């Protein structure tokens, strides 16, 4: 069974600084997708960034980037120039290719952004 592990229950970062959230996963599949979702207090799940396992290049979306290490099964999220609006729960998620978006989520990391 696939598992997703987020070892940091809480993280804190100062506004304008950079923070990295960790995620590791376990799978025997070779083709899959990885995601980072943000869940603010409104509870809405917002897709932050997505990585396809067959792509070696790390995905980036503006201030958000990932460090995808396929051999190590690691998928960390880096948030640059942190903003107050980045404060939220962040979930790492895994989806084997061809399983119609059947996501497995990690336990989440609560990110605090301080002034």
Partner 1 sequence: GAVVSQHPSRVICKSGTSVKIECRSLDFQATTMFWYRQFPKQSLMLMATSNEGSKATYEQGVEKDKFLINHASLTLSTLTVTSAHPEDSSFYICSARGGVRSPLHFGNGTRLTVT
Q: Which of 2, 11, 27, 50 lies at the binding interface for partner 1 (CB under 8 A)?
A: 50
Q: Which of 36, 106, 111, 113 lies at the binding interface for partner 1 (CB under 8 A)?
A: 106
Question: Residue 4 forms beta bridges with which residues?
Answer: 25
Measured CA distances, 92 to 30, 51, 105, 108, 109 (Å)? 18, 11, 6, 7, 9
Binding to partner 1 (CB under 8 A) within 2-41 occurs at: none
- Which C-beta is closer to partner 1: that of 18 or that of 107? 107
- In the complex, minimum distance from the CB of residue 85 to partner 1, in angstroms, rounded to a whole number: 18
Burial (CB count <10 Å: 0-12, 13-18, 19+), residue 89: middle
Q: Which of 45, 74, 78, 112 lies at the binding interface for partner 1 (CB under 8 A)?
A: 45
First to last CA, the chain: 41
User: Which residues of this protein are in contact with partner 1, per CB under 8 A?
Assistant: 42-45, 47, 50, 91, 100-108
């Amino acid at each position: 069974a696939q598992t997703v592990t987020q070892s940091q229950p809480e993280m804190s970062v100062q506004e304008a600084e950079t923070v990295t959230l960790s995620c590791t996963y376990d799978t025997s599949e070779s083709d899959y997708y990885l995601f980072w979702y943000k869940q603010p207090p409104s509870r809405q799940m917002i897709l932050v960034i997505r990585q396809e396992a067959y792509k070696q290049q790390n995905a980036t979306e503006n201030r958000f980037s990932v460090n995808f290490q396929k051999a190590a099964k690691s998928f960390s999220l880096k948030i640059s120039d942190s903003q107050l609006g980045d404060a939220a729960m962040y979930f790492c998620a895994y989806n084997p290719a061809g399983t119609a978006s059947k996501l497995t989520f990690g336990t989440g990391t609560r990110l605090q952004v301080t002034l």
